Chain A
Amino acid sequence: MRTAPLGHNVSLERRAWNIRRHAILMGEVQGQGYIAQALDVADILATAYFHAMRYRPDDPAWEGRDRFLLSNGHYAIALYAALIEAGIIPEEELETYGSDESRLPMSGMASYTPGMEMSGGSLGLGLSIAVGKCLGLKRKGSDSRVYTLFSDGELDEGSVWEAIMSAAHYKLDNLIAIVDVNNQQADGPSTTVMGFEPLKEKLDAFGWFVQRIDGNDLAAVRTAFDAAKAQHGQGKPSMIIADTLMGKGVPFLEAREKNHFIRVEAHEWRLALDALDERKPS
């Protein structure tokens, strides 16, 4: 059963809500998963897939598509939810999440899943691949854009900064990178594991067009994507720094002690769905 009809006239709020719901259902299948992260990036993914990007659900490899690269492969549960909502993956498949023979493994891989453009998970890869794809698209004279989502923890990786330098050097204005700043990585708060602030100033100095927004404010996310898209032809890559709240949309998860894996008890998946249902947008 679809949680929302495909097609037009569905609000971004409802798309984000649907994405959250798909993700919780997948989390329930496995009894685990990066659910708090999926909830925090749902607004970004909804805006990417239902406002910003060009793609054909029935032809995920369509040459004219915009590319979406998930660098933080452990956020796969969130992207699968968006791909399901976008009609690229059938909704029934969410029941296979993380299971043997599934097209939806716990960490995203290019060869497994339609719409998954790269094998992420070894952190810090996405931006480098994005640079190559942007160079390639420009070589081909394509007007497609490359979107890449990565996590604040990945800012610790030197390769990310190699790619940041090169994207500015090659004036890759067909690149829109989104960094999810939920301030949580494996060993604790990202800002204490390895300080990266002041991030906007750093990226400004690296020659990017940088916006810092509340990544759970859909209007702000939409405006930021529009401004980033308008950079095409202006000679600068775009970075959207999205400050997000882990567990967003499910109050008891928002309030839970912050961890890389947020604790979710077996009975709480249903409670999470109930909490989400109470906040169902029209």
Chain B
Amino acid sequence: MKPAAPKTDTGKPRLTTSAMIASIASEGQRTKPAPFGHALVELAKEDGSIVGMTADLGKYTDLHIFAQAFPDRYYQMGMAEQLLFGAASGLAAEGFTPVATTYAVFASRRAYDFIHQTIAEEDRNVKIACALPGLTSGYGPSHQATEDLALFRAMPNMVVIDPCDAHEIEQVVPAMVRHRGPVYMRLLRGQVPLVLDEYGYSFELGKAKLLRDGYEVLFISSGIMTMRALEAAKALVSDRIDAGVLHVPTIKPLDAATILACCAKPGRLVVVAENHTVNGGLGEAVAGLLMREGVHPAFRMIGLPDEFLAAGALPTLHDRYGISTEALCARVKGWLK
């Protein structure tokens, strides 16, 4: 959807593209700074095997916090993602626990074979944490990692995590390091929204958690879409629609038992919401599970379209591609009519 020559008389204010690393927090939302970097520093105080690695994106993945705390345990590999992951494999083979960061586009697209062969196939204990997941940058497809979950889901041995907020990221960091083997986690950096602490939530690797129950609709979501689904569920109350939210931060291995149990409740519309292309992500993972197990609720998917997305301001893009809170509410109301 490429724009034609600009119109000057649309009557609507035109938003400008936010900074590449702008926070995805909405105005006035509670946030926490650099939860990934701070959690990693806390963990590394106790676990001397942890080393930090990046490909010229330390500051943009909050790994600079670790670099400041442990300068001699930090490896700057230059703007070279293939080298980054190959070297991470080598360090892991020597007994270290490399936590390697870059943008999700570069890990999933540029370095895929290196991760596949040197980390996943060799089953090396490397933790991959990647910023700008899905549509969290207005810079266009070069920076929008809309296929990362599909690609890493397809990779044997790889655990895939899509955390929602700062509260969860703080818990994902120690959990993924405790897990022996390769992990890919989507990373939110900078001022990260703080949401799940209000739900008494705690992260467990491989576990989906029901954050809110509802009779008519069940959102199944991961990452920032859980935040959106919770907002949508609150907003739908005024339309007398009772919506629940099942948060599925571990995309692989999928918590089949919890998802099946929640979807087996009769009469409920299941809506999977993901910050990812509709191809091969959480939506199709859940759909496949339900088909295989013979559980057949009314089922809808909200995700990014199978196209190269536009550049622009994130609020505009989230509205346009249907992953804003307002868009979620509108779609659900349309489906329930």
**A residues in contact (CB < 8 Å) with B:** 109-111, 117-119, 121-122, 124-125, 127-137, 139-140, 158-159, 162-163, 165-166, 169
Decide: B94 and A119 in contact? CB cutoff 8 A.
Answer: no
Chain A residues positioned under 8 Å from B121 (CB to CB): 109-111, 119
Q: Which of A110, A118, A140, A162 contacts B94 (CB 8 A)?
A: A140
- B78 and A136 within 8 A (CB): no
B-side interface residues, number (CB < 8 Å): 28
Contacts of A139 in B (CB 8 A): 51, 91, 94, 96
Which chain A residue shows the least CB distance to B116? A122
Other A-B pairs, 4, CB within 8 Å; known A129-B86, A159-B83, A166-B78: A132-B88, A132-B94, A136-B94, A139-B96
5 contacts between A and B (CB under 8 A): A110-B122, A118-B93, A128-B83, A132-B93, A166-B77
Contact B78 A122 (CB under 8 A): no
* Residues of chain B with a CB closer than 8 A to A127's CB: 86
Nearest CB of chain A from residue B117's CB, rounded to whole Å: 5
Q: Is B87 an interface residue (CB 8 A)?
A: yes
User: With an 8 A cutoff between CB atoms, is B255 at the interface?
Assistant: no
Q: Given known contacts A125-B117, A137-B94, is B87 in contact with A131 (CB within 8 Å)?
A: yes
Q: In the complex the two chains form, what is the Cα distance from A111 to B121 in whole Å?
A: 9
Give Cα A178–Cα B91 distance, bound, in whole angstroms: 21
Q: B303-336 toward A: CB 8 Å interface, digit per residue (1/0)?
A: 0000000000000000000000000000000000
Collect the chain B residues with CB atoms within 8 Å of residue A165's CB: 78, 80
- B87 A129 Cβ-Cβ under 8 A: yes
Q: With both chains docked as a complex, state the minimum distance between the C-beta of B112 and any C-beta of chain A, in angstroms.
A: 11
| B203 contacts the other chain (CB 8 A) | no
- Tell whether, in the assembled complex, residue B75 and residue A135 are in contact, meaning their CB atoms are under 8 Å apart: yes
A125 touches B86 (CB 8 A): yes
- Enumerate chain B residues within 8 angstroms of A136, measured Cβ to Cβ: 90-91, 93-96
B82 close to A166 (CB less than 8 A):
no
B222 lies within 8 A of chain A by Cβ: no
- Is there an interface contact between A118 and B122, defined as CB atoms closer than 8 Å? yes
What is the interface of chain A mostly: helix, strand, loop, or mixed?
Answer: helix
Check B90–A134 contact: CB distance below 8 A.
yes
Query: How far does the Cβ of A147 sit from chain B's closest Cβ, in whole Å?
Result: 13
Given that A133-B90, A159-B83 are known contacts, is A140 also in contact with B118, CB under 8 Å in the complex?
no
Q: Output the nearest chain A residue to B81 by Cβ-Cβ distance.
A: A162
Q: Is the CB of A129 within 8 A of B93?
A: yes
Residue B114 at the A interface, CB < 8 A?
Answer: yes
A133 in contact with B82 (CB, 8 Å): no
Given A118-B122, A125-B114, A139-B96, A131-B78 contact (CB < 8 Å): no
- B113 sits at the interface (CB 8 A): yes
A130 to B95, CA, bound (A): 14
Report the separation of the CA atoms of residues A159 and B75 in the bound assembly, to the nearest whole angstrom: 17
CA distance A132 to B85 in the complex (A): 9
A122 touches B86 (CB 8 A): no
Query: What per-residue 1/0 map shows which CB atoms of B84-105 lie under 8 Å from chain A?
Result: 0111111111111010000000
**Complex Cα distance A179/B273, Å?**
50
Given contacts A111-B122, A128-B86, A159-B86, are A122 and B113 in contact (CB under 8 A)?
yes
A226 to chain B, nearest CB (A): 25
Instruction: Choose among B87, B93, B98, B122 the residue that contacts A128 (Cβ–Cβ < 8 A).
Output: B87
Of the candidates A119, A133, A140, A166, the one whose C-beta lies within 8 Å of that of B83 is A166
Beta-carbon contact of A118 and B78 below 8 Å: no
Q: Which 3 A-B pairs have the closest CB atoms?
A: A132-B90, A128-B86, A136-B94
User: What residue of chain A has the Cβ atom nearest to residue B93's Cβ?
Assistant: A133
Q: Contact partner of B80 among A110, A129, A162, CB < 8 A? A: A162
Which of A111, A121, A125: most chain B Cβ within 10 A?
Answer: A125
CB distance from A148 to the nearest CB of B (A): 10
